Structure 1
Amino acid sequence: MQDLLIKLQSIIAGAPEPLAALVTGLAGAIPFVEGEGAATIAVIAGVNPVLAGVFAALGNFLCVLTVVFASSGARQAVVAGITRRKTRSARRVEAPALVGANGLTEHLDATATAFQDESPRAAARRQKFTVALEKYGVPGVSLLGPLLLPTAFTASMLVAVGVKARRVMFWQTIAIVGWTTIFTVMVTAIANI
């Protein structure tokens, strides 16, 4: 990962500013680099902080948007397949509802059936995520998620448990813009000392 960051910084530093901004956007689309990492690299490389922040956030946003809508489509296909199987076998399984501290109620419906064959490790991670979702709700998981996981991972997990794609994108957009802005301002301030 360190080699990737060094290569990105050298590419951005050696490019004219419009191309450097574009590379910053592409770097923002890389999980674990994210908007905040790409903006940091670009500001250190000498790119205008406003361009760095905007393009880094835009790259991160486009990556998350793609992941959310792909995950949403995959979830719909899985749920439709499970529903067809249930209809054929004439049995109905009710899934538990998630009720968060902020009143969030999202039904897991057929998704619970889809997780039956997962490994114990995956089940433990999903359980931790579910507890965090219950405790902090979609806004909290979205805003605090980048501290632990890339935004694309957090967003896909939210969609997988049944949160609507629009709602996920709303909160992920706020998180991406917020974190990228915070890092851009911090690095710019430190670079100007």
Structure 2
Amino acid sequence: MEFMDLIWAYLLVFLLAATPFVEAIYLTPIAVVGGLSPLPVLLLAIAGNLATVYLVIIFIEMIKQWRQKKKDESGKRAERAEKLWKKYGLIGLTLIGPFLIGSHLSAFLSLVFGGTKRNVTLWITISVAGWSILLTVLAAFGVDIFQIDNPFIEQFFE
């Protein structure tokens, strides 16, 4: 890859990770498997993802008002998040939520359900960084986390 192509690829990692519902935890292994260096990918993906999550946390009051108007549109995701909250609390929602509903919505709903800004910021940071590190290391060492062992499904990918 040429130098400018590499710069654009890493910039794209940051921008995609900053996009709600494009999670660093999924993006990092994909970028590493795609040939980008693990450490810059990891750092840029975490930074991009957390930058917009932190904006959600900072502007929560305005977002709560906006969300009240749009409440019915994402009922299933909110229901999943509320079940996680009731069963596992803040830590469970922030650790499991990025896989099920996304980190942005996990942070938002954690605040709506009663989490403090400080605790939500701490746990969503641990979650995004921790999962991203784990999945990047697995991808860097060639662990195929997306391996398909079903012969019926494999025929569609040949």
TM-score for both structures, normalised by structure 2: 0.74
Tell me how far apart the structure 2 counterparts of residues 125 and 18 of structure 1 sit (CA, whole Å). 35
> Could you say which residue in structure 2 is the equivalent of 1:152?
104
SS in 1 for 2:20: coil
* CA distance in structure 2 between the partners assigned to 1:13 and 1:24 by the alignment: 17
Q: Distance in 2 between matches of 1:24 and 1:14?
A: 15
Letter in 2 for 1:36: I
Query: Per-residue CA shift, 1:145-176, capped at 9, x if unaligned?
Result: 12211100111111222322221111000000
Structure 2 residue aligned with 1:20: 9
Residues 52-111 of structure 1: CA distance to partner in whole angstroms, max 9, x if unpaired?
111111110111111222224444x69xxxxxxxxxxxxxxxxxxxxxxxxxxxxxxxxx
- Say if 2:81 and 2:97, in contact at 8 Å, map to a contact too: no
CA distance in 2, matches of 1:140, 1:180: 17
Which amino acid is 2:100 matched to? Answer: L
List runs of 5+ in structure 1 lacking aligned partners.
1-11, 79-113
Rg larger for: 1
Q: CA RMSD in A?
A: 3.0
Tell me which amino acid in the other structure corresponds to 1:141: L
Structure 1: distance between partners of 2:80 and 2:7? 42
Q: Any conservation in 2 of the 1:72–1:160 contact (CA below 8 Å)?
A: no
Asked which structure has the greater RCO (Cα within 8 Å, sep 6+), the reply is 2
Q: What is the percent sequence identity of the aligned residues?
A: 27
> Is the CA contact 1:35–1:176 (under 8 Å) kept in the aligned structure 2?
yes
Give the direction of change, closer, same or farther, for the CA distance of 1:137–1:74 in structure 2 (3 Å limit): same
Q: Aligned partners of 2:79 and 2:126: how far apart in 1?
A: 25
Asked whether 1:188 is paired with 2:140, we answer: yes
Question: C-alpha displacement at 1:180, in angstroms?
Answer: 0.6
Give 1:52's match in structure 2, choosing from 26, 41, 49: 41
Once the two structures are superposed, residues 3-50 of structure 1 have per-residue CA deviations (whole angstroms, 9 ceiling, x without a partner) of xxxxxxxxx999543432222111111233211222123212221101
Q: Which has the higher helix share?
A: 2
- The correspondence of residues 65-76 of structure 1 with structure 2, limited to 5 A, is 65-75=54-64
Q: Check if 1:163 corresponds to 2:115.
A: yes
> What corresponds to 2:151 in structure 1?
none
In structure 2, the gaps of 5 or more residues are 145-158
1:32 equivalent in alignment to 2:26: no
